[in-house]
Amino acid sequence: MSKPKLVMVGNGMAGVRTLEELLKISPDHYDITVFGAEPHPNYNRILLSPVLAGEMTVQDIILNDHSWYADNNIKLHTGKTVSRIDRLKRKVIAEDGTEESYDRLLLATGSTPFMLPVPGNQLPGVISYRDIKDTDEMIEAAKLYQHAVVIGGGLLGLEAANGLKLRGMDVTVVHAAGWLLERQLDETAGKMLQKSLEDRGLKFLLDKMTEALIAGESGRVAAVRFKDGMQIPADLVVMAVGIRPNTALAESAGIYCNRGIVVNDTLQTYDPKIYAVGECVAHRGVAYGLVAPLFEQGKVAANHLANFGIGRYTGSVTSTKLKVTGIDLFSAGDFTGSSDTEEIVLNDAMGGVYKKLVIKDNKLVGGVLYGDTADGPWYFQMLRDGQDIHEIRDHLMFGQSHVGDVGHQGHSKAAAMADSAEVCGCNGITKGTIVKAIKEKGLFTLDDIKKHTKASSSCGSCANLCEQILSATIGGAYTPAASNRKPVCGCTDHSHQEVRDTIRQQHLIKIADIMHFMEWKTPDGCDKCRPALNYYLISTWPKEARDDPRSRYINERAHANIQKDGTFSVVPRMWGGLTTSAELRRIADVAEKYQVPTIKVTGGQRIDLLGIKKEDLISVWKDLDMPSGHAYGKSIRTVKTCVGMEHCRFGTQLAMNMGVKLEKMLFDMYAPHKVKLAVSGCPRNCAEAGIKDVGVIGVDSGYELYVGGNGGIKTEVAQFFVKVKNDEEVMEYAGAFLQLYREEGFYLERTCHYLERVGLDHTKSKVVEDDDNRKALYARLLAELKDAKDPWAERVAGVAKQEYEMLSV
């Protein structure tokens, strides 16, 4: 049976990214044909400026060479412009007569540069700046001529001016507005940029309107004349005054266009067999010129071309990241502000640093950064997520490293890092390796970096730094996804929140049901999504959903931590860190009997037996006759305690007694990630309660509760939550907070990251301020844990060895 035919008109970045996404999820669905007007395969248009500047070659910026098309059985027509679409016969016709029929048509015709309608705009030496041909013309002109005029002080214009200056030309930038980059910067930042570029040899004429381009004796452009009568020499004129969606082909075929080819949220035009993506598109009245939104469109279009039918493109919030001759600029959102917004401004003209943050209703709505843009991606993520910032408002201007960046190592100045600096400690990946991969392989997402370099693919703590490097390297082409919209894994386009909501709304109780209903791309999921789905089912329907052993990690299946030599570490539970001589005697006997090579006291006040062979695990647990410490699980780990008022002369509360109560209440609690608690009997805090998921500190009048602490790769101090009077209130408030985290947290999201996402105010409103809701949360927690038993003890008692071996594969 023959496959349906997909024809794509346009061979640019947005269109080819759509094909890449389609090939990922449905590689054999179509016979694919591509028409490209240029003689080149798909290349990275963003990197034309480094080619102009002499830093890269054309070959360096090719994203998909001819072999890629051949390897994927794609017929490629280069250098052929499609002139007509016959919608009745469903075929496209190129100018040279080449025809291809289609079942589905994808229009990715991009945009065309706008040429000022002034006399002389057709003269030799007057060009736009859009493709490789334009770039080659500028490089050749720089070898022969002296004076260059760039009309347009926007992104493209400044990149062209910078490249021509580096090629040795005398460059003047002409701009109609009062300052540079008026769509991306406010006046203060624009003037600072102008001065910095003037110091580097560029000249500027602002508030100038071009009247005509004047020819010389040879017939080539020789000068530019302005409406005020001023005239300057010009051997080369580069028009960089904007782009227009290329809709001519679509309009000639009767496809509805209005400032672009009009599409719906599935990227479908008014003809249901024709889709469109990229700069040629108008979606909800908006045409996008940056790469990141176009890639989002491509992903959705691919989803529907593959007949999955579950993706929607709802628009993009964009940011600008530009690096011109060593000057860092960043802007996003509504950076101009209005009467109902407020501004936080830092202006250090001598130091070359300017920052303006625009706030409305305790949310960041826009910002401009000049000179120091390291926090740009952080601000932009905050803006996209609509995060409430009132608690960090006083520190907001000073950046993420000042406020705290849990789990994201080395936030500071990604752009200033040396290439030799290590970014990913797990895999030993340096910044230079990541930057090289981004440039050579055309990477645009964090997933791309993980795939090609392995950075951030292990513990994930360097993900933010990788995104910083990505943003610094490709500028506005990179836009971080909103936190709530990031897919669970590559098996699906759905986010964690969408999965949680669907499980509850559709009352799904099996992993297979979720995958079927949400149209998973892979038949059985992967090691990332299966454990997450398993957790979401159990936490949503604790009485109906059954735990799936296949969807647990090896440590959970084996009930012990696997070590690098293949042996295991066993940690028996000691409630609150307390033990007895009998327990210690059994631990010593087990250590001798099984020749345990290493015995260590853990940071959570437990004893760890390291070096136990897999075949001995069942016998070890039988001989210990102690409950598991769950040191391997996404669950309650330990409640660390000091000796408290029981023994300490400074103690104000019975810390050990409180710790034992909490640990027994929470025993066998399954959670999105590991959970650690601590109880200190006085404010001296010897149990380090200030860096735990829940920290309890005794004071004279009761207890203070802190939440969201983390002692991991980067320490995060817990935030004050509430003050309570007695043990019962400690258990109720702590239990309710943890139950809220269990019900709302994303899998593998620590409490600190959960709070960063939803805000401390959100949890306080549900637990501290709403008595009825707190009691309901606490009741659900107790109901789910009231029958908690040590699952390993049952398995040791009743499961044969061969069954255990099967479970722990």
DSSP per-residue string spanning 246-311: --HHHHHTT--BSSSEEE-TTSB-SSTTEEE-STTEEETTB---SHHHHHHHHHHHHHHHTT----
586 Ramachandran zone, left/alpha/beta (phi>0; psi -120 to 50): alpha
SS3 15: helix
- Has residue 328 been placed in a domain? no
Q: Mark whether 249 and 237 lie in a shared domain.
A: no
Q: Once rounded to an integer, what is the mean pLDDT over residues 282-299?
A: 90
Domain boundary among 256, 284, 305: 305
- Has residue 710 been placed in a domain? yes
Q: Residue 399 and residue 262: Cα distance in Å, rounded?
A: 40
Q: Mark whether 724 and 642 lie in a shared domain.
A: yes
Structure tokens at 100: 């291809």
Q: Residue 497 and residue 271: Cα distance in Å, rounded?
A: 33
Interstrand relation of 598-601 and 607-612 (parallel, antiparallel or unpaired) = antiparallel
- pLDDT confidence band for 232 (50 / 70 / 90): very high
Annotated binding site for [4Fe-4S] cluster: 642, 648, 682, 686
- Concatenating the DSSP letter of every residue in 389-419 gives -GGGHHHHTT-HHHH--TT-TT-TTGGGS-T
Query: Given a cut of 90, is residue 479 above it in pLDDT?
Result: no
- pLDDT confidence band for 807 (50 / 70 / 90): very low
Q: Once rounded to an integer, what is the mean pLDDT over residues 707-733?
A: 89
Q: Residue 666 and residue 640: Cα distance in Å, rounded?
A: 13
Q: Once rounded to an integer, what is the mean pLDDT over residues 776-788?
A: 89
- Has residue 529 been placed in a domain? yes
The per-residue pLDDT for 324 is 59
Query: Given a cut of 90, is residue 422 above it in pLDDT?
Result: no
Q: Residue 139 and residue 115: Cα distance in Å, rounded?
A: 20
Query: Given a cut of 70, is residue 233 above it in pLDDT?
Result: yes
For 342-404, list the strands marked E by DSSP.
342-348, 353-360, 363-370
SS3 658: helix
Q: For 632-663, what is each residue's pLDDT tens digit?
A: 889 999 999 999 998 998 999 999 999 999 99
Q: Residue 164 and residue 157: Cα distance in Å, rounded?
A: 11
| CATH label of the domain that carries residue 682 | 3.30.413.10
Identify which of 696, 600, 586, 675 has the alpha carbon closest to the alpha carbon of residue 631.
675
Q: Mark whether 644 and 779 lie in a shared domain.
A: yes
- pLDDT confidence band for 465 (50 / 70 / 90): confident
Cα angle 761, 762, 765 (rounded to 5 degrees) comes to: 80
The per-residue pLDDT for 806 is 39
Whether 561 and 632 have beta carbons less than 8 Å apart is answered as yes
Structure tokens at 353: 């640093």
Query: Given a cut of 50, is residue 799 above it in pLDDT?
Result: no
Q: Once rounded to an integer, what is the mean pLDDT over residues 146-158?
A: 94
- pLDDT confidence band for 401 (50 / 70 / 90): low
| CATH label of the domain that carries residue 274 | 3.50.50.60
Q: Once rounded to an integer, what is the mean pLDDT over residues 435-457?
A: 81
- Has residue 447 been placed in a domain? yes
Strand partners, 221: 215
Query: Given a cut of 60, is residue 203 above it in pLDDT?
Result: yes
Q: Residue 769 and residue 761: Cα distance in Å, rounded?
A: 10
Q: Mark whether 502 and 643 lie in a shared domain.
A: no
Q: Mark whether 537 and 642 lie in a shared domain.
A: no
Whether 273 and 458 have beta carbons less than 8 Å apart is answered as no
Whether 415 and 472 have beta carbons less than 8 Å apart is answered as yes
Q: Once rounded to an integer, what is the mean pLDDT over residues 582-601?
A: 94
Whether 147 and 293 have beta carbons less than 8 Å apart is answered as no
- Has residue 452 been placed in a domain? yes
Q: Once rounded to an integer, what is the mean pLDDT over residues 694-712?
A: 92
Q: Residue 18 and residue 20: Cα distance in Å, rounded?
A: 5
Number of structural domains found in the chain: 6
Structure tokens at 674: 């590991």
Structure tokens at 36: 């490209």
Annotated binding site: 642, 648, 682, 686
Annotated binding site for siroheme: 686
The pTM of the full predicted model, rounded to 2 decimals, is 0.62
The per-residue pLDDT for 72 is 96
Q: Residue 590 and residue 32: Cα distance in Å, rounded?
A: 65
Q: For 738-762, what is each residue's pLDDT tens digit?
A: 999 999 999 989 999 899 888 899 9
Q: Which domain holds residue 63?
A: 5-111+245-305
Q: Residue 590 and residue 596: Cα distance in Å, rounded?
A: 8
- Has residue 313 been placed in a domain? no
Q: Mark whether 664 and 707 lie in a shared domain.
A: yes
Q: Mark whether 528 and 656 lie in a shared domain.
A: no
Q: Mark whether 581 and 465 lie in a shared domain.
A: no
Q: Once rounded to an integer, what is the mean pLDDT over residues 357-362?
A: 94
Structure tokens at 740: 């809220």
pLDDT-wise least confident of 91-95, 108-112, 195-199 = 195-199
Domain boundary among 274, 305, 336: 305
Interacting residues of 108 by C-beta distance below 8 A, sequence separation 6+? 8, 9, 10, 11, 12, 14, 15, 18, 276, 277, 278, 280
The per-residue pLDDT for 372 is 84
Q: Mark whether 614 and 641 lie in a shared domain.
A: no
Q: Residue 646 and residue 686: Cα distance in Å, rounded?
A: 14
- Has residue 350 been placed in a domain? no
Q: Residue 744 and residue 765: Cα distance in Å, rounded?
A: 14
Interacting residues of 375 by C-beta distance below 8 A, sequence separation 6+? 369, 399, 400
Q: Mark whether 648 and 731 lie in a shared domain.
A: yes
- pLDDT confidence band for 255 (50 / 70 / 90): very high
- For 530, the enclosing helix (H) or strand (E) is helix 529-540
- Has residue 139 been placed in a domain? yes
The per-residue pLDDT for 802 is 43
- pLDDT confidence band for 805 (50 / 70 / 90): very low
Q: Mark whether 262 and 289 lie in a shared domain.
A: yes
Phi, psi (rounded to 5 degrees) for 592: -75, -45
Q: For 491-548, what is each residue's pLDDT tens digit?
A: 888 889 999 999 999 999 999 999 999 989 888 888 889 999 999 999 999 989 998 8
- pLDDT confidence band for 321 (50 / 70 / 90): low
Q: Residue 89 and residue 68: Cα distance in Å, rounded?
A: 30
Identify which of 357, 397, 331 has the alpha carbon closest to the alpha carbon of residue 190.
331
The per-residue pLDDT of the chain, averaged, comes to 88
| CATH label of the domain that carries residue 607 | 3.90.480.10
* Cβ atoms within 10 Å, residue 374: 21
Report the amino acid identity of residue 199. D
Q: Mark whether 42 and 186 lie in a shared domain.
A: no
Domain boundary among 208, 241, 274: 241
Whether 382 and 376 have beta carbons less than 8 Å apart is answered as no
SS3 203: strand
Identify which of 466, 418, 420, 415 has the alpha carbon closest to the alpha carbon of residue 443.
466
The per-residue pLDDT for 316 is 82
The per-residue pLDDT for 714 is 65
